[in-house]
Amino acid sequence: MLTIAVTALVTLLLAAVIMNFATAEKQLERKIEHRYAISDPQFRREMSLMMSPSIVGGNTVHALQNGAEIFPAMLQAIEQAERSITFETYIYWSGAVGQQFSDALSERARAGVPVHVTLDWVGSVKMDNDLLAAMEEAGVHVHRYRPLHWYNLGRMNNRTHRKLLVVDGRIAFTGGVGIADQWQGHASSPEEWRDMHFRIEGPVVAQLQAAFNDNWIKSRGRVLNGERFFPHIDEVGTLSAQMFIASPASGSESMHLLYLLAIAAAAQCIDIAASYFVPDDLLIEAFLAARTRGVRIRILLPGPHLDSFAVRIASKQVWGELLEGGVEIYVYQPTMLHVKLVVIDEEFVSVGSTNMDIRSLRLNDEASLNVYDHAFAHDMLVVFERDLANAKPYSLEMWKHRPLREKLLEKLLLPIKSQL
């Protein structure tokens, strides 16, 4: 009987591990052909119809640079909240920044404003229980997303990596920052990470609110609706945008498809800043196909300051094929580059929580804001060029002569690169 019990337990654990490695049933197998340019109305039409939700106009999007700009703007919005606050994030750690946000959220909850917070259980593992308890005591509705329980062992690997803050249903923020001290400052030293976040107003804010609701319903079984969460929003700007979310629970590779459609439509240039870059074969094929069309591709990646050694090794393994195809790769020098930015043909911009790696594309819950506007794309290209000035080019010769130790580690990490 003991042997049977042990066998059953081992089988159960193996099944849970396999389920955690599994990705969506609906998987893309062939590259998307270049049929139109980013500037062609057909691109917007298909992005609006195939991707969902629809592209909406009348928005403003303001780029915030590094913690020195990002945290004050977010905290000010929270402190001025009158009707509701919804907040979802992956990283929330104890420290000065974590305390500031806890205090601000708690104060609004005590003032009678409904405050709902979703924190990823893995991402908030460095958050002190006292900080969490203080928020809950103040009346903040806090949910830890997918904590370790026997009944969700098969989904432990599927985390929420979304960064969403919506205030009064009218002002929203998304981007790359987590709530932790390493995002403070101006990215002026290795201790201050380089990142961007975006303050958003206009009709697209309702899509960010719906994105928060997606996981709140999934994990709490409750809907946050009514005018305090979804008020009527007038047009306040000229930008067309959509807030796109993806989750393995949806059974599709929607974020993967988004990138592949955009790369396939590129006609002139693709500029990418990526903190974690481990593309799959289809993305590599899409990049190389774009190069054969004469598209210039520049990819800006972390340099000596990267918080994951395994990601560095797994990423570099694919650089050779890209460099041989004429893709330009640059490595950022001053500090950890945590920016997630895609700019194509100075017409299309995608920003948010999504990394260009298999984990983001197939395993995590992610959210990306797509903006369709030439002036905004130009501004983001200026930001990209400014970061590029603090980077060094990485050549094919450098890749060929990388240390033997790296080459061996690349082989060892190959079977698990989707988990990095």
| Helices 309-316 & 404-413 angle (0-180, nearest 10) | 100
Out of 141, 197, 340, 417, the active site residue is: 340
Out of 116, 120, 141, 161, the active site residue is: 161
Out of 163, 197, 256, 417, the active site residue is: 163
Gap between the Cα atoms of 417 and 310, Å rounded: 9
CA–centroid distance for 201 within its chain: 20
Active site residue 163: yes
Give me the count of residues in the chain: 420
Residue with tokens 């590129």: 266
Instruction: State both tokens at 132.
Output: 């969490």
Out of 338, 357, 365, 417, the active site residue is: 338
Gap between the Cα atoms of 106 and 78, Å rounded: 10
Gap between the Cα atoms of 390 and 335, Å rounded: 10
Out of 345, 357, 365, 387, the active site residue is: 345
How far apart, in Å, are the Cα atoms of 371 and each of 13, 165, 204, 210? 43, 18, 10, 18
Residue with tokens 């393994």: 317
Active site residue 345: yes
Cβ–Cβ under 8 Å, residues 192 and 50? no
Sign of CA dihedral 68, 70, 73, 76: negative
Active site residue 161: yes
Cβ–Cβ under 8 Å, residues 173 and 54? no
Gap between the Cα atoms of 196 and 187, Å rounded: 11
Instruction: State both tokens at 381.
Output: 């290209």
Instruction: Give residues with Cβ within 8 angstroms of 2, minimum separation 6.
Output: none
Residue with tokens 């501004």: 379
Gap between the Cα atoms of 150 and 410, Å rounded: 33
- Active site residue ranges: 161, 163, 168, 338, 340, 345
